[in-house]
């Protein structure tokens, strides 16, 4: 389960010809940030956390931008991951006063148990000591392993960027703390809501695989807006507005309180999940509204 948690943590949370209409920004994975009070430009890259590290070499301008910057910024610093592991192994455990027999009816319990055995290879007898959100991580992990069967979690796109920064003696800054990551994984929903989401996801497991295919295709096409639309339009198992805000909008706003100071001090190569770049609430538009010039890096 530890591997599953790290896999999802790196995923959570997430692009063509450049096109811009109104507040829409799409058509590139890499964007240059300049102007305002910056003496040197910074760059922001939208990542797909399951992508192998080698994918960085295929992103136009990414390697040059990385080497031009003085520091690297990510959602969480790799230096914090060992601490995150220890905390998460505790946080993912079910509370002593709750069982799946309480969270589910007999029929739903049997359904979830059977689906998990079929899809993950272990049922509630083996996984029942973990919170529903933790079990959901294993479902997501198995779904994406079908597309990246040879994935090496020590060399994903995000890990490669930070690892190369460390080798190059560039400082690595995390936009979030371990507590922030724990909240994103386990604090947004109570246990009953987590159980309901797990049940719904297992009822629509084929759609989960379809959505994964669509997400990967949209990312490969550099279509940030399509990624954002898929996040907004989950018809089968929709998130509540507050849940969506907690995963995207609120995190973006919190990062925007930090990024200006980070970029002003040193030119920065910022690598975060691509979903965080898109839409009106995305970092690209928020940076532009704050007075920066934001332009795609395309060749």
Q: What percent of the chain has pLDDT over 90?
A: 55
- Tell me, what's the pLDDT at 209? 80
Domain residues of the chain, as ranges?
2-296
Alpha carbon distance 86, 3 (integer Å): 12
**Could you tell me the pLDDT band of residue 210, with boundaries at 50, 70 and 90?**
confident
Q: What is the CA radius of gyration of the chain?
A: 19
**Could you tell me the pLDDT band of residue 24, with boundaries at 50, 70 and 90?**
low
Mean pLDDT of 211-231: 86
**Could you tell me the pLDDT band of residue 78, with boundaries at 50, 70 and 90?**
confident
Tokens of 115: 């689906």
Give the residue carrying structure tokens 């530890």.
Answer: 2
Mean pLDDT of 110-131: 94
The alpha carbon of 153 is separated from its chain's Cα centroid by a whole number of angstroms, namely: 14
Q: Is the pLDDT of residue 227 over 90?
A: no
- Give pLDDT tens digits for 141-189: 788 777 777 767 778 899 999 999 999 999 999 999 888 888 888 889 9
Mean pLDDT of 265-293: 94
**DSSP 8-state secondary structure symbol assigned to residue 151:** -
Q: Is the pLDDT of residue 10 over 70?
A: no
> Alpha helices, DSSP H only, in 69-190?
81-91, 100-103, 106-119, 124-127, 132-145, 157-167, 178-182
Q: Is the pLDDT of residue 6 over 50?
A: no
- Tell me, what's the pLDDT at 82? 63
Contacts of 189 (CB under 8 A, 6+ apart): 133, 197, 243
Q: Is the pLDDT of residue 75 over 70?
A: yes
Q: Is the pLDDT of residue 214 over 90?
A: no
Cβ neighbours, 10 Å, residue 19: 14
Mean pLDDT of 281-298: 95
- Tell me, what's the pLDDT at 239? 84
Tokens of 74: 């990510």
| Local structure of 237: helix, strand or coil | coil
The answer to whether 277 and 227 have CB atoms below 8 angstroms apart is no
Helices (H) and strands (E) in the chain, counts: 16, 6
**Could you tell me the pLDDT band of residue 231, with boundaries at 50, 70 and 90?**
low
User: What H or E segment, with its residue span, contains residue 294?
Assistant: strand 293-296
- Tell me, what's the pLDDT at 61? 94
- The residue ranking higher by pLDDT, 250 or 154, is 250
- Tell me, what's the pLDDT at 176? 93
- Give pLDDT tens digits for 47-65: 988 888 899 999 999 999 9
Q: Is the pLDDT of residue 13 over 60?
A: no
β-bridge partners, 45: 30, 271
Distances (CA, A) of 104 to 66, 131, 164, 198, 218: 49, 13, 46, 11, 36
**Average pLDDT of the chain, as a whole number:** 86
Q: Is the pLDDT of residue 37 over 70?
A: yes
């Amino acid at each position: 389960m530890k591997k599953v948690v790290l896999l999802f943590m790196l995923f959570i949370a997430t692009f063509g010809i450049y096109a811009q209409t109104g507040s829409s920004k799409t058509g590139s994975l890499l964007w240059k940030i300049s102007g305002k009070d910056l003496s040197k430009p910074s760059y922001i890259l939208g990542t797909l956390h399951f992508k192998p590290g080698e994918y960085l070499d295929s992103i136009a301008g990414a390697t040059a931008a990385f080497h031009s910057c003085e520091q690297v910024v990510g959602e969480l610093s790799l230096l914090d991951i060992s601490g995150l592991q220890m905390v998460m192994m505790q946080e993912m455990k079910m509370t002593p006063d709750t069982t799946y027999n309480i969270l589910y009816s007999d029929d739903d319990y049997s359904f979830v148990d059977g689906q998990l055995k079929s899809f993950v290879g272990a049922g509630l007898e083996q996984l029942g000591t973990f919170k529903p959100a933790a079990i959901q991580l294993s479902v997501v992990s198995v779904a994406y392993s079908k597309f990246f069967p040879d994935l090496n979690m020590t060399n994903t796109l995000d890990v490669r960027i930070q690892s190369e920064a460390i080798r190059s003696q560039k400082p690595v800054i995390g936009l979030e703390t371990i507590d922030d990551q724990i909240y994103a994984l386990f604090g947004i929903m109570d246990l009953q809501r987590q159980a309901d989401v797990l049940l719904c996801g297992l009822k629509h497991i084929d759609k989960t695989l379809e959505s994964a295919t669509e997400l990967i295709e949209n990312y490969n096409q550099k279509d940030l807006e399509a990624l954002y639309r898929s996040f907004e339009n989950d018809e089968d198992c929709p998130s509540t507005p507050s849940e969506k805000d907690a995963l995207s909008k609120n995190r973006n706003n919190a990062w925007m309180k930090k990024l200006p100071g980070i970029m002003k001090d040193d030119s920065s190569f910022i690598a975060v999940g691509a979903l965080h770049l898109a839409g009106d609430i995305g970092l690209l538009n928020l940076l532009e509204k704050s007075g920066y010039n934001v332009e795609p890096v395309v060749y």
